[in-house]
Amino acid sequence: MKWRRGGFGAALCVLVALAACTNDPYPEADTGKKLLYLPFDEPPKTLDPQVAYSTIDHSVIGNVYDTLLEYHYLKRPYTLIPGLATTVPTPQPLADGRVSYRFQLREDLLFQDDPAFGLDGPGIRTRQVLAKDVAFSLARIADPEVNSPVFETLAKIDGLRDFSERLKKLRAEDPAFAQRRIDEQYALAGPISGVRVLGPLELEIVLSESYPQILYWFAMPFTTPVPWEGVATYDGRDGRDLFSEHPTGTGPWKLVVYDKRLRIALRRNPNWYGIRHPEWRAPGATYPRAGESSDAEAGRLVPSTVGRALPFLEGIEFRREKESIPSFAKFLQGYYDASGIIKESFDRVIRNGELSPEMAARGVSLSKSVLPATYYLGFNMDDPVVGREAGEQSRKLREAMSLAIDSKEYTRLFTNGRGIPAESPIPPGIFGYEADYRNPYREVDLERARALLSEAGYPGGIDPKTGAPLKLSFDSPDTSAAALLQFQFFVDAWRKIGLDVSIAATSYNQFQDKIRRGAYQIFQWGWVADYPDPENFLFLLWTPMGRTHGGGPNTANFSDPSYDELFLEMKARGNDERRLELIRKMRGILEEERPWIELFHPESYLLAQGWLHNEKPPGLSIPTAKYLDIDTAQRAELRSAWNQPIRWPAYAAAGLGLLVIVPGIFTYLRERQ
């Protein structure tokens, strides 16, 4: 009897559990809240704004720290607008070729509430953001112990390098100095000569040379003002957080949960100037009234939204998804508001380049945007066969090889068509990109390629020294099967014109070693913009950036005096006709010299649920959550409709189990008796 009662009890428990089951991963208390749910696969490395350089890092700190300048959400090409600063400064030329920029901070900006401000006095939880906080951030960039990856770039600020040296010296000479509070250390090391605090809210930055691109760095978290109190308090000692995990920012959101293995949660920061002073109608705190022509069509400029104070959401929830399949499945269930497309489901989601009827029926929308990035094949211009040393011979060889590569076919095969063929280093959305420009060496023309090879002294691709096809090497740090397939595509294309290119795929270390020794010929690389300026792409072919000799990103070791001269003039100019003319000339040099075979500019496909409004893929790593809105009622309704549990299989399985086992038991008992 006891076992019968036990069995009945167990069955009842299972039935109750089944009745209560749900696949909703979120707490019931959050139902109906305007929370944006997004997945992330890699955890942030750091939330220290002077150090963070990866996309996931910026997706958190970009929302927590506001910057002096920002990008207009909708306009393309990208346009800077004031953020914490009142205006976008213009360069003021000074003596000796130096240039200064003056920033005026808005009044009444506050940091988010934080116990760290108790250092200012008991009970104090916040304070005003001042110009000296920006100076403090720039000092941190120069601090060797912070090890900011942008120190070398921002060393154009007068005195930044000297400050770094002074700080290092003081710490080395006096261990007691290194134990002092960080703001005291910086004060004792002396100010940075090119960072002048002119008043509580006024700051002047002096550069040692003209560098118009400096303004873009003030739209990146590296230069955001940080409070010395936060840095001093969150030092990781005595159980305190590290500053790299405890941001104390000025942005529309504040970090409330930081478990980077699982969940990162942001909620509205009530101290944000956009919430405290909507009457300012500040550009960074008001939904834009204008954008591109496609924005109105896409529903991003509806009258009920334009001109409204930001943000619309209550918070952002990032949830860790290490595997792409479960992550995409949860998007289809409605538990994520936006998602990329995994390759396993690409054909189900996209038909002929557009959203499939199945997805469209669910109200999902597809946003396509070409990223400010360029992928290319490069030649090592220091190599004796493919490089400049062989003069006209190698130039024609490079031109011929360029004519053999079909970028469109490459993107069709390897990126599901997500990319546009690249004609020059500059991608769409960046000044200097011209949609109707056609690079004469980026169209497939095998006949012309063979003719060029003959002119180069390699008729039919044959090397006259050996009598066999010219042997070249394609060097790569990627040994995966997927990458080798892609490289084979190039090798096969060159085989059609008679060349014998072998793939030399090695580990990343060995590849880096080859680069250092200059022992490579052809390679594949890519570059994603740090900021939307042609200088950020064209510098990749500038002589001082050479890889083998200078360790810079000019992996092709391209060096052309005319190009360099044009580059120096181009980089110092604003976006005007003369600049475009210079870019065209530089493009002309690259056309003929062919240090690169431009492949494609990648295209991002972003899926958004029907209840998510105003989203526009930014391209650059910039925060956009404050512009988004969610129809919570629609979301709740559709989630419920898409996720009703199906219980009958459990009951059927239980019944089947009983049908199978019970006769067996009775049979056995009968036989035993």
Partner 1 sequence: MWAYVVRRLAYSLVTVLGVLFLLFLLFFLVTNPDDIARKAVGEKAPPQALEQWKKNHGYDKPRFWNPEHPTDSMLVDHFRRMLTFDFGNSDADDTPIWRRLRSGAGPSLSLSLPLFTLGLLLTISLGLLVAFFRETYIDRMGVILCVLAMSISTVLYIIGGQYLIARVLRWFPISGFDPSPSVIARFLAVPVLVGLLSNVGDSVRFYRAVFVEESSRDYVRTARAKGCGEARILIHHVLRNSLVPILTQVVVAIPLLVMGSILLESFFGIPGLGSITVDAINANDFATLRTMVYLGSLLFILGQILTDVSYTLVDPRVRLE
99, containing H or E segment: strand 99-104
Among 18, 94, 656, 658, binds partner 1 (CB under 8 A): 18
Which residue, chain included where needed, has tokens 């963070």?
Answer: 52
- 148 in contact with partner 1 (CB under 8 A): yes
> Which two structure tokens, joined as six digits, stand for 430?
């960046």
Q: Which of 13, 21, 172, 178 binds partner 1 (CB under 8 A)?
A: 21
Taking the C-alpha atoms of residue 417 and residue 540, their distance in angstroms, rounded to an integer, is: 26
Which residues in 605-644 contact partner 1 (CB under 8 A)? 643-644
Is 460 a binding residue for partner 1 by CB under 8 A? The answer is no
The dihedral sign for the CA sequence 542, 548, 550, 554: positive
Binding flag, residue 321, partner 1 (CB under 8 A): yes
> Among 132-140, 144-152, 308-316, 497-505, which window interacts with partner 1 (CB under 8 A)?
144-152
Identify residue 418 by its one-letter amino acid code. R
Site string for partner 1, 417-456 (x = CB under 8 A): ----------------------------------------
Q: Is 591 in the site for partner 1 (CB under 8 A)?
A: no
**What span, in angstroms and rounded, lies between the C-alpha atoms of 207 and 157?**
4
Counting residues that bind partner 1 (by CB under 8 A) gives 58
Sign, CA torsion 415/371/336/295: negative
598 φ, ψ (degrees, to nearest 5): -65, 130
Decide: is 664 part of the binding site for partner 1 (CB under 8 A): yes
Contacts of 391 (CB under 8 A, 6+ apart): none
Q: Taking the complex as a whole, how short is the minimal distance between the CB of residue 537 and partner 1, in angstroms?
A: 14
Bridge partners of 268?
Answer: 253
The nearer residue to partner 1, 322 or 578, going by C-beta atoms, is 322
How far is the C-alpha of 68 from the C-alpha of 426, rounded, in Å? 27
- In the list 80, 119, 298, 329, the residue contacting partner 1 (rule: CB under 8 A) is 329
Span interacting with partner 1, options 207-215, 284-292, 315-323, 578-586, rule CB under 8 A: 315-323
Q: Smallest distance, Å, CB 329 to partner 1?
A: 5
Amino acid at 59: S
595: tokens are 């240090």
Helix (H, G, I), strand (E, B), or coil: what is residue 141?
Answer: helix
**Residue 244: both structure tokens together:** 């790299």
Check binding of 242 to partner 1 (CB under 8 A): yes
322 vs 368 by CB, closer to partner 1: 322
Q: Interaction with partner 1 in 212-241: which residues (CB under 8 A)?
A: 236
Query: How far is it, in rounded angstroms, from Cα 510 to Cα 16?
Result: 60
**Distance in Å, CB of 410 to partner 1, minimum:** 23
How far apart CA 647 and CA 540 sit, in angstroms, is 60
Site for partner 1 in 253-272 (CB under 8 A): 259-262
Among 2, 27, 179, 517, binds partner 1 (CB under 8 A): 27
Pairing of strands 468-469, 462-463: antiparallel
Query: Which residues, in sequence order, are bridge partners of residue 612?
Result: 630
CB of 244 to partner 1, least distance (A): 6
The verdict on 161 binding partner 1 (CB under 8 A) reads no
Position among 508, 651, 657, 662 found at the interface with partner 1 (CB under 8 A)? 508
Beginning with the edge strand found earlier in the chain, give each strand of the sheet holding 195-199 in spatial order. 92-93, 99-104, 202-207, 195-199
Answer yes or no whether residue 14 interacts with partner 1 by CB under 8 A.
no
Smallest gap from residue 54 Cβ to partner 1 (A): 6
Rounded least distance, CB 487 to partner 1, Å: 20
Task: Work out which of 7, 9, 32, 149 binds partner 1, going by CB under 8 A.
Answer: 149
**Three-class secondary structure of residue 378 per DSSP:** strand
Q: Tell whether omega for the bond before 663 is within 30 degrees of 0, i.e. cis.
A: no
Applying CB under 8 A, the residues found at the interface with partner 1 are 18, 21-25, 27, 42-46, 53-54, 144-145, 147-149, 151-152, 236, 242, 244-245, 259-262, 319-323, 325-327, 329-330, 333, 507-509, 512, 530, 551, 553, 643-647, 649-650, 661, 664, 668, 672
